[in-house]
Amino acid sequence: MNDFLPVNIEDCKKRGWDEVDFVYVTGDSYVDHPSFGAAIITRVLEAKGFKVAILSQPNWKNTKDFTRYGKPRLGFLVTSGNIDSMVAHYTAAKKLRHDDAYTAGGVAGKRPDRAVIVYSNIIRKLYPDSPIIIGGLEASLRRFAHYDYWDDDIRPSILIDSKADILIYGMGENQIIQIAERLDSGEDITSLRDIKGICYAVDVRETPYDGVEVPSLENCMNSKKEYAKSVRIEQDEQDHIRGRVVRQKHGKIMIVQNVPMPPLETEELDWVYSLPYMRTYHPMYEKLGGVPGIKEVEFSITHNRGCFGACNFCAIQFHQGRYITSRSKESIVEEARKLTASKDFKGYIHDIGGPTANFRKPSCEFQLEHGLCKGKKCLAPKPCPNLISNHEEYLDILRTVRELPRVKKVFIRSGIRYDYLLQDKDDTFFKELVENHVSGQLKVAPEHCSASVLDKMGKPHIEAYIEFSKRYFRYTNEVNKEQYLVPYLMSSHPGSTLDDAIELACFLNKNHIRPEQVQDFYPTPGTISTCMFYTELDPYTMESVFVAKTPHDKALQRALLQYYNPKNHKLCEEALRKAHRYDLIGNGKNCLIKGSVSQNRNSSNSNRNNSKSNNRNSYGRGKKYKKR
């Protein structure tokens, strides 16, 4: 039956169901599109013959919604939705958001804070003996004791607070298939603890002896150094080839993470993306204006998973992993044909991408047998000598799709790694990217210009961005187009001092970049950068890291990145005086703000040299940069 899955008991009756096998509880509005984890997991279960009903954004203030389908035959599946519920609710400044892209009508507040915990506890009270399996981003990134930005404290594994039986971490298709089939065969939920890619909790007396044990919850709460050690081990074991079982004691309970589930192979990915998704939100949301989150992905295609870029502030390496797997060309082209058949298709495929659009293969041959290198990055601070950069296969896919009937343009919007692109000795893809696949502006993520900050981010140094931008504009001019680069920038990342923020401001000033949006560092669960934010230690070196933690210190750094905005003048002046950078106040061409520098000006400071960024060579014509 090619239709939405049941969202109420009437839908179940229409299908002739007396009961359901699983109730899938989600904090998002129901969208049946393969960019939404809920759609993939439920369609996978349906394809394996299981009866799945959707319980979308249930009212957690009473129990009525949770009894809608009665007790499912096999269990409840619980997720907060596509993103962490706390991130969905709060900005980096811990202020309530006014909208929610994953809720019909964009309305905020339709899910509780810490949705997985709230939903699971209600279910446990109603159905004490029903299996509860939690998954999705919120559960996956909180599987161990973790720093919680909103509590400003260490919280236990979400398994403890949710009282769930099993936690699926990472991409969960094969885990959920095995769980469903073994429950269906009559096995008890407690017998499924051998499945890869899951976590479970046991009495410490039942602790398995294999693997590695990280510092306990209690030690992490009492010692930031112990917490940093824990995070490093957890990160290092997220490799499906060399990863080990990881254990963490919580009082008398042991949290056990089994070895990672191997990522889906090409044939498996092709199957997952061939399932009969409706590719839109449920029609019950039409009167509310639909679900905003579908707009960015409705006519987009995911061609890969994983990211060996592994930026320290990004959760992908801890969730999807660094190993790249990709769909076949045939599968991608077939999905593109389906998009062109849609009545709403206007000729534009918005993206053929993924976590990083231009990754199609693992970064080197070594990892095929040994896994990705522990404690090292493929691209930062410099590309590994073993890196293989080749865009031939990706380019072939783009060429084929853009020649399909009704296709006017194929864009790449999910972002490319320009440092990886620069390693390809053949610039054919680079030139065709500029000529055919940029929708007026290309978004890239240098994030900063300070080498010390970029090292803490796990990003390449700014010289790679400078080289990329020069070639980008050269190729743009060759095809006689006016296109822009939109650089993503981040303020207040761990390691960024006030001097570093000033260096970035000078860099922007010299190169005529005026970002309209700047992302404050957001300490979300499960990242190396969040560990640095909390501990003020680099977990890989145990060296001290400067962290701007107070709202005012963050505001000073953020203001500097938008120094040209009159609203930021006061903060910028305070920051520059605090750093004794009087040379940047005045009317000179290198000055960031106008004003008098006589007050408290020290003669030695007046002769101070400009920052390193003021002495950098320009990396392209300033007029070519999008003033956003």
Task: Quickly state the pLDDT bin for 516 (edges 50, 70, 90).
Answer: confident
Residue of 613, 586, 585, 623 lying closest to 510 (CA atoms): 613
Task: Quickly state the pLDDT bin for 597 (edges 50, 70, 90).
Answer: low
Q: Is 80 exceeded by the pLDDT of residue 602?
A: no
HSE-CB at 590 with a 13 A cutoff on CA atoms is 17
HSE-CB at 539 with a 13 A cutoff on CA atoms is 28
Q: How much is the average pLDDT of 229-257?
A: 98
pLDDT given at position 596 = 67
What are the structure tokens assigned to 428, written together?
A: 């054919």
Higher model confidence: residue 106 or residue 599? 106
Task: Quickly state the pLDDT bin for 616 (edges 50, 70, 90).
Answer: very low
Q: Is 70 exceeded by the pLDDT of residue 600?
A: no
Q: Is 80 exceeded by the pLDDT of residue 623?
A: no
What is the DSSP pairing of strand 166-168 with strand 198-203?
A: antiparallel
Run of H or E including 147: strand 146-148
Q: Is 80 exceeded by the pLDDT of residue 173?
A: yes
Cβ partners under 8 Å of residue 471, min gap 6: 422, 427, 430
Residue of 373, 374, 376, 378 lying closest to 361 (CA atoms): 378
Q: Is 50 exceeded by the pLDDT of residue 399?
A: yes
Query: What is the distance between the alpha carbons of residues 293 and 33, in angstroms, rounded to a whole number?
Result: 11
Residue of 296, 272, 270, 265 lying closest to 34 (CA atoms): 272
The answer to whether the CB of 104 falls within 8 A of the CB of 290 is: yes
pLDDT given at position 45 = 98
Q: Is 90 exceeded by the pLDDT of residue 625?
A: no
Cβ partners under 8 Å of residue 246, min gap 6: 144, 211, 212, 213, 214, 233, 234, 237, 256, 257
Task: Quickly state the pLDDT bin for 618 (edges 50, 70, 90).
Answer: very low
* Partners of residue 32 on adjacent β-strands: 280
pLDDT given at position 610 = 42
pLDDT in tens, 360-388: 999 999 999 999 999 999 999 999 999 99
Q: How much is the average pLDDT of 488-501?
A: 97
Q: Is 50 exceeded by the pLDDT of residue 609?
A: no
Q: How much is the average pLDDT of 135-163?
A: 98
Residue 627 in 3-state DSSP?
coil
pLDDT in tens, 16-34: 999 999 999 999 999 999 9
The answer to whether the CB of 573 falls within 8 A of the CB of 597 is: no
Q: How much is the average pLDDT of 149-167?
A: 98
**Positive or negative, the Cα torsion across 169, 232, 83, 69?**
positive
pLDDT in tens, 117-132: 999 999 999 999 999 9
Average pLDDT, the chain: 93
Q: Is 60 exceeded by the pLDDT of residue 507?
A: yes
pLDDT given at position 589 = 87
**Positive or negative, the Cα torsion across 459, 141, 149, 157?**
negative
Complete DSSP assignment for 544-569? B-----SHHHHHHHHHHHTTTSGGGH
Task: Quickly state the pLDDT bin for 415 (edges 50, 70, 90).
Answer: confident
What is the DSSP pairing of strand 300-302 with strand 351-353?
A: parallel
pLDDT in tens, 249-303: 999 999 999 999 999 999 999 999 999 999 999 999 999 999 999 998 999 999 9
What distance separates the 2 farthest-apart alpha carbons in the chain? 86
pLDDT given at position 269 = 98
pLDDT given at position 607 = 38
Q: How much is the average pLDDT of 534-560?
A: 97
Only one residue has tokens 């309530």, namely 96
pLDDT given at position 598 = 55
Q: Is 70 exceeded by the pLDDT of residue 614?
A: no
Q: How much is the average pLDDT of 419-438?
A: 97
Whole-model pTM: value is 0.93
**Positive or negative, the Cα torsion across 220, 225, 228, 229?**
negative
What percentage of the chain carries pLDDT values higher than 90?
A: 92
Q: Is 50 exceeded by the pLDDT of residue 472?
A: yes
Q: What is the CA radius of gyration of the chain?
A: 25
pLDDT given at position 611 = 39
